[in-house]
Structure 1
């Protein structure tokens, strides 16, 4: 049974409620004043710990931004009243939909969240849970099919990212080589606003932003057509973290398909999942004790030592020797560090413990890994990550966006929604499965 509420549980709930904007949740005030895709999926799982109706509403609001082709964008601009604090806004994206959105996507945590929210609701009223879940299942399935059609047109089983922001790990060292090919020229000046809220030492460099916006303008010029984007993309990475999340989403959707008697959906999902499972397993590199992405422009492995190399544990049933090797590598990275697993390997040239996705610890990444470690029969290390995540929040940093693994300092934005959500899931569920 979960422990009784403590002051941190109360604070986490209060953060989610304070960041509520009429049924959707902003990641944090001012710095991120709109609805972000994978943030909201984690937030829904946090709400499901104490308010299932609100958890469903989070996902329903996100689906309001879904495109006709199935893509769920990475930002939905429901309300532009906070636009002065954020760049790039709708005018930069130049998309044309009923609800203003960005033109790219983010890791598909949505179906994973839907499974957790549904199961929490079904514990009280199974019929009502199914009724509210069904349209969201349809939206998630449409998005799942979009991923394979738009981002794996050659049917490899690995889905590709066309922009670093689609990974959620915006300035990861995994993108350095591929991103260096992208010009820094932009049609309009880049007007950063993030560094008005967070120290520049904790954010991507200006040169990174220039390349990010160059890609946005390139795809806007292509009319946001997936086939034209694929043909012209200077950045194209078959990415293991996103693919692993897609596979886990596919497993959860397959369970829904069986529950809802959708035999055709179930068969389609089984085939897609099998292809992706085989493709992910082929990306294991024994010399590194982790998985690697692939640069589809150069054909080379993306072997930068980042946390993404471990995320396939979420969706794969690994052979015992592989799982042991991966856990040993994760333990080596985490040794002597605070908060859990750093996002890059400590002590390497790419290691920056305070700079966004180049070294800090993120509670939601720990959450994904904890789930995968339980799946692969490594509960002891899962418990270590869980306790480290809870400890850095409760004793050092509070609900910061991310954490310096050397000092435990909270970095980035404060009162951060998905950190609060991850805390509620990890503090309230002993086995770490998010249910």
Structure 2
């Protein structure tokens, strides 16, 4: 695939275009990631987009998160998709999930970025009105985090599992390749993939992967989407470094919010979650690869390799000195082999693909978290490199869903909400992004 022609857009123009993308994808109280390819409200997309709105419309930013948490399940889960309106351009739609919710949703969740996004809004809007909105959102997030700790870490190991690759948000990452072999996708009901009508098949998961994805949806549906039963019986139950690190960072944000909002009864609960995770993440360390890696909790085997999710260890503020030294070594090695960082998978691995979804490409919002973590942990040069790479991608190639890590070619959907939101974060705050309320 040849390199795309560079746009060379200046910062002010980028900010105007980013704002136009977010408002253009606004469907009234919620945004879609992009028209056509993703026509519904996605969980972590929506929370990140709220931070983009915060750069120019705080009221609309709060509404984005409020609309998301309004569809929380009775058990505390906030689903990964809310199907506000039927859209024929996406599969699997609400009838395939069949969750029985008043407003249809998917049957599992997504990485819980919303807490540190809500903290950002509270940091900007901490008057009486902002605190009241934050308090209502906090209560929903507290229930959601409890869901993660209860149902996705039933053994209280301090690491959280996913029951579907989609729940990680990193759908076809090599992290899941081995564990997915236990999922039989040969007998799924016939279906038509609609993503390939919008995006080149070279950029998307394969049919074999998709068959297994649908098989897991059918299995969850057969159990009535009971989170406890799925955790016990699902053939795919994999501790995810990305979700684990994001949850730990989100728990830290939730703790700061609890103290600020005087949610005193919740403080010891959150502190226990944090302490458990700070110890538990060592279970994700694969000494043979010298990286944090996915852990199949059915087989106790590590999978994957060095991913951009593993780099979120800096964002979560964990790792021994030796582990951090190894991870920063991986960061420098991988960045030296690509045109732009942070690649979603290690280019030295045979399953690397610079343009195929989560098997190599760069994602701006992942860079935002990684860059913040690097700066917070004292790796300012590396954090600055992430910022400069992100700026170069967006100013050179626009607001694509993701980018080829070698030549910067835009890939996936275009006019993408969370990519635009990432730019607005950088532009409003300056690198590194790090708004927090004071404990």
Partner residue, 1:355 = 356
The change in CA–CA distance for 1:204 and 1:187 in structure 2 (over 3 A counts) is: closer
C-alpha distance in structure 2 between counterparts of 1:431 and 1:418, whole Å: 17
Contact 1:426 1:432 in 2 (8 A): yes
Partner residue, 1:406 = 406
Deviations 1:11-47 (A, max 9, x none): 0010000000001110000000000000111111111
Partner residue, 1:114 = 118
Partner residue, 2:32 = 26
1:91-110 correspondence to structure 2 within 5 Å: 91-110=95-114
SS of match in other structure, 1:230: helix
1:145-294 correspondence to structure 2 within 5 Å: 145-285=146-286, 288-294=289-295
Contact 1:317 1:375 in 2 (8 A): no
C-alpha distance in structure 1 between counterparts of 2:345 and 2:425, whole Å: 24
SS of match in other structure, 1:84: coil
Partner residue, 2:79 = 73
- 1:282: Cα distance to partner? 4.2
C-alpha distance in structure 1 between counterparts of 2:130 and 2:307, whole Å: 38
The change in CA–CA distance for 1:317 and 1:305 in structure 2 (over 3 A counts) is: closer
Query: Does residue 40 in structure 1 map to residue 46 in structure 2?
Result: yes
1:308-327 correspondence to structure 2 within 5 Å: 308-327=309-328
Partner residue, 2:6 = none
C-alpha distance in structure 2 between counterparts of 1:187 and 1:320, whole Å: 47
- 1:317: Cα distance to partner? 4.5
C-alpha distance in structure 2 between counterparts of 1:287 and 1:433, whole Å: 33
Contact 1:374 1:432 in 2 (8 A): yes
Deviations 1:211-259 (A, max 9, x none): 0000000010001011211222100101111011111111111111111
The change in CA–CA distance for 1:194 and 1:217 in structure 2 (over 3 A counts) is: same
Contact 1:338 1:392 in 2 (8 A): no
C-alpha distance in structure 2 between counterparts of 1:263 and 1:64, whole Å: 24
SS of match in other structure, 1:85: coil
- 1:341: Cα distance to partner? 0.9
The change in CA–CA distance for 1:297 and 1:307 in structure 2 (over 3 A counts) is: same
Query: Does residue 16 in structure 1 map to residue 22 in structure 2?
Result: yes
C-alpha distance in structure 2 between counterparts of 1:141 and 1:161, whole Å: 19
Contact 2:21 2:416 in 1 (8 A): yes
SS of match in other structure, 1:294: strand
- Normalising by the residue count of structure 1, what TM-score does the alignment of the two structures yield? 0.95
SS of match in other structure, 2:309: helix
C-alpha distance in structure 2 between counterparts of 1:243 and 1:18, whole Å: 33
The change in CA–CA distance for 1:265 and 1:34 in structure 2 (over 3 A counts) is: same
How many matched pairs?
426
* Structure 2 runs not aligned, ≥5 long: 1-9
- 1:50: Cα distance to partner? 1.5
C-alpha distance in structure 2 between counterparts of 1:55 and 1:22, whole Å: 12
C-alpha distance in structure 2 between counterparts of 1:434 and 1:156, whole Å: 29
C-alpha distance in structure 2 between counterparts of 1:187 and 1:174, whole Å: 23
- 1:177: Cα distance to partner? 0.6
Larger RCO: Structure 1 or Structure 2 (Cα < 8 Å, ≥ 6 residues apart)? 2
Contact 2:177 2:303 in 1 (8 A): no
Partner residue, 2:298 = 297
C-alpha distance in structure 2 between counterparts of 1:364 and 1:5, whole Å: 17
C-alpha distance in structure 2 between counterparts of 1:335 and 1:423, whole Å: 24
1:60 to 51, 66, 69: 66
Contact 1:71 1:146 in 2 (8 A): yes
- 1:385: Cα distance to partner? 0.5
Partner residue, 2:5 = none
C-alpha distance in structure 2 between counterparts of 1:318 and 1:301, whole Å: 17
